[in-house]
Amino acid sequence: MRTLFVTFFVLAVLLGCTKGDQTRHTVVLLDTSASIKEEAFKNAVEIISELSRRMQRGDCLTIIPISGNTEEEIQGRIIRVVMPVDRQAYDSDVNREREALKRHLERLYIEARKEPPQQTDILGALPIAEQELRLTGKSRKTVILLSDMLQDNAQFNFVTDPRLSSKETAIKLGAAVSNEWDLKFAGTSVALAFLQSQQRTAMARTRIRAITEFWREVFMRSGGKVVIYNDPERAAKVHQFENR
C-alpha cells in the first residue's frame, strides 16, 4: 500500500488553481539520474522555464524530481508554483513567482548534477503526480515526463528486461503494471518527452520502441491521453503541448 501524506500547507497552495476549468495544472516529472546527458538535462530545465513563462493566472506548475527511489526520497524536493488569481500592479506578483521558480530550478540543477542518482524510479513518481493533480479539482490537467524512460531499480531494469524486447510483450507488461499500481489519470493529457542518455544512445531501436509502448500503455490504461516526443528536437518543443 502506497500512502502519501499531504500537509495542510501543500493543500492550501494547490487549492489556488481550482478557480475553474480554464485554469491548468501541469505536473512535470523530471529525470535527474546520472545517465541523462548534460545537454539533455539543461534542455529539460529550459523546457520547464518556458512552461512557467506561459502560465496564466490561476495556473499551477508542480515539478517532481525522479530519483533512484522516488517515493522514499521525495520529501521536501517537490517544487510547486501557483500563479496568483488577483492581479497586482505591474504584474509584480506573477513576476515574483517566476523569479522564485528560477531560483528553485537553479538549485535543483546544481544538486542534481552534483550527486545524481545512479538508478531511476519513474514508476514511483506516478502516484505522487496523481495525488498532486487530484488536489486541484476541475482544472485542465497535464503530465509531462522528461526522461530517457528507462526504469532502473530493484523491480525493473529496462535496459536488459526481456519483456521489453518486443512491442507485444512490452504492452502486456504495461497493462500488468497499470493494473497493479491502480493509477488514475482520467482526462489528463500526458506528454512523454524522451531525453538522451548514455544508455538510450546505445540501445537497439526495437527496444526503444517497445519501451515507448510500455509507457503509452501504462498511461492509456490509467485514462490518460498520450502524445509521444521521441527525439531531442521534438522534446525541446514539448511546452507547445500545453496549447493542445
For residue 63, what is its C-alpha cell? 515539478
Cα 131 to Cα 116: distance, rounded to the nearest angstrom: 25
| pLDDT over threshold 50, residue 148 | yes
Residue 218 neighbours by CB under 8 Å, 6+ apart: 126, 174, 177, 178, 183
Cα 20 to Cα 182: distance, rounded to the nearest angstrom: 27
Proportion of the chain above pLDDT 70, given as a percent: 87
The pLDDT tens digits for 12-49 are 444 455 545 578 999 999 999 999 999 999 999 999 99
Cα 94 to Cα 39: distance, rounded to the nearest angstrom: 29
| pLDDT over threshold 90, residue 93 | no
146 beta partners: 30, 193
Q: What's the CATH architecture for 18-243?
A: 3-Layer(aba) Sandwich (3.40)
| pLDDT over threshold 80, residue 179 | yes
The pLDDT tens digits for 201-243 are 999 999 999 999 999 999 999 999 999 998 767 777 787 776 6
Of 141, 2, 7, nearest to 72 (Cα)? 2
Which pLDDT does position 90 carry in this prediction? 56
Name the DSSP letter for residue 238.
G
For residue 3, what pLDDT band results from cuts at 50, 70 and 90? very low
Which pLDDT does position 15 carry in this prediction? 44
Higher pLDDT, 153 or 240: 153
Cα 131 to Cα 184: distance, rounded to the nearest angstrom: 9
| pLDDT over threshold 70, residue 113 | yes
Name the DSSP letter for residue 197.
B
Higher pLDDT, 33 or 10: 33
Cα 157 to Cα 152: distance, rounded to the nearest angstrom: 4
Whole-number average pLDDT of the chain: 86
